[in-house]
Amino acid sequence: MRFLKVDSLEQAREKLLASLQEVFTKTEQVRLQEAAGRCLAEQVYCPEMVPDFRRSTVDGYAVMARDTTGAGESIPVFLEIVEEIAIGHPAVHTLKSGECTYVPTGGMLPDGADAMVMVEYTELFDEKNVAVYSTVSPGTAVVQVGEDAKKGQLLLDKGARLDAKSIGVLASIGRKQVEVFRPWRLTVVSTGDELVLPGEEKTTCKIYDINTSALCTLAREHGMEVVEAVTLRDEEELLEQVLKRALKSSDIVVISGGSSQGKKDMTAELIDKIAKPGVFTHGLALKPGKPTILGTDEASETLLVGLPGHPVAAMMVFELLIIWLQKRLYGEKEKPGIPAVLESNIPGAPGRETCQMVKLVQSEDGYIARPVFGKSGLMSTLTQADGYVLLEVNQEGLRSGERVMVHLL
C-alpha cells in the first residue's frame, strides 16, 4: 500500500493557514444595502459623539430640574413655555429658571435645561404656562452627548459577519459603503460513475449526486461564490480539463467522490500533475474524513481540496477545514455552541479525532445531545442531526451524561 501523508486536523489546519493567505484575504468596498451576510474587513470606529446633542427620550418639557423640586401629584409647579422644539431642529432659546421648552421624543434639549418631564405629568394651564406635577432629577429622560457611543470608540470588529444589527450600526454612523472580504470563488466537482443528476432517470446501482448541491449550498451560506459546479464520470481527462479551467477561475477547487482507494489516488496524482507544489496533506486523522486531500497551486493561487465521497463526511470536512479557514483568516467570531448533556456514549477512535453528529432534544433545563449513528448515514444523518460534537485525538470517548458543546451545522 502507498504510504500516505496523513495529518491530524490540527496539522492540516496549520498547513492551510500557512498557504495562500493573500488570495483569501482580499477585500472590496460594497454598498451598505449589499453588505448583509458579508464579513467586515475593517475596524469600524465611531466618527463622532453619539448622540452629538442632548436628546430627549420622551415627549414632554425640558426643564431645570431644581425648578421642579417639591412638585407632586397635588402640588404643581408652574413654568413658562418659551419655545417649542420640532424634531430635527435645534433649540434656540437658552432656558432660564422658571422656563421650560416643549421637546418631542428624539428632540434636542435647549441649553440651560438638564432634565425632561413627561407630558403625562403636566397639564397646560394656558397657552404660555404649564403645570408640572412631578419632581425630576438632573438627567431624567435625557441621553447625554456621547452616552451611546464616544468619538473614536470601536463599534464593530474586523471579521464581524454583517447581520441586521451590525448593518444598523453602520447606518447609524452614516456609512454608505463598507470594506468587506471578497467572496472566495469556488469550483465544486463531484466525480463518480454511479452519480446521476437530480431530475434525471436513475437505474439500479446508481445514486443521485448529493454532494454538488449540498456543498454549493454550504459554501453560499458562508458567503462564497460558486463559479462552476459539475458532476463528472470517473475519467481522468474529464477531471483534468475541469481542474485546469478551475485553476484560472477559482480560489478553491473542491473535488468530492473518489473515496475508494484507486480513485483517491487518481485525485491526488492529478493534483500533483497540474498543481505546484501540489499535495501537502494526503489523508486526515479524523473520523469521518480520512480520504481528505489538500494541495495548492502557487502560480494560480488555488487551493485544491479532495473531499470524501460520503455526503456527511464531505460536509463535515468542508466545515472543519474550509469554513474554519475562512473564520480564522477573517477573524470571524465563532457562533455560540449549544451546551448539552450526552444521551449515550460516543466511542473515540484511536489516533484520530472524531466528529460525531448529534440531534438536540430539549429537556427541562437545557438540551440533550442524542448521537446520530448509522453506517449508512446518508439521509438518516442529514435529516436528524442538528450539529456535531468534536472529540479530541486522545480522548477515550465520551460517556452518557457528560456535558458537551454542540456546534450547529
Give, as ranges, the residues between 310 and 339 that touch a second copy (CB under 8 A): 311, 315, 336, 338-339
53 binds a second copy (CB under 8 A): yes
170 binds a second copy (CB under 8 A): yes
- Which helix H or strand E contains 169, and what residues bound it? helix 164-172
Nearer to a second copy, 98 or 198 (CB): 198
Minimum distance from residue 170 beta carbon to a second copy (Å): 7
Nearer to a second copy, 60 or 280 (CB): 60
Question: Looking at 22-30, 146-154, 245-253, 282-290, which segment touches a second copy (CB under 8 A)?
Answer: 146-154
Among 149, 254, 321, 391, binds a second copy (CB under 8 A): 149
CA-CA distance, 395 to 389, in Å (whole number)? 12
- 65, HSE (Cβ side, Cα atoms, 13 Å): 10
Among 10, 84, 221, 396, binds a second copy (CB under 8 A): 221
CA-CA distance, 356 to 358, in Å (whole number)? 6
Among 22, 73, 350, 362, binds a second copy (CB under 8 A): 362
Among 261, 345, 394, 400, binds a second copy (CB under 8 A): 261
Q: Say whether 278 sits in a helix, a strand or coil.
A: strand
Strand ranges for 120-251 from DSSP E: 122-124, 129-132, 142-143, 154-156, 177-181, 185-191, 195-196, 207-208, 225-232
Binding mask 263-292 for a second copy (x = CB under 8 A): x-----------------------------
Among 152, 378, 397, 401, binds a second copy (CB under 8 A): 378
Q: Say whether 205 sits in a helix, a strand or coil.
A: coil
Q: Which residues contact 350 (CB under 8 A, 6 or more apart)?
A: none
Distance of CA 355 to the CA centre of its chain: 21
Distances (CA, A) of 46 to 150, 171, 409: 7, 11, 34
33 binds a second copy (CB under 8 A): yes
Among 4, 216, 368, 393, binds a second copy (CB under 8 A): 216
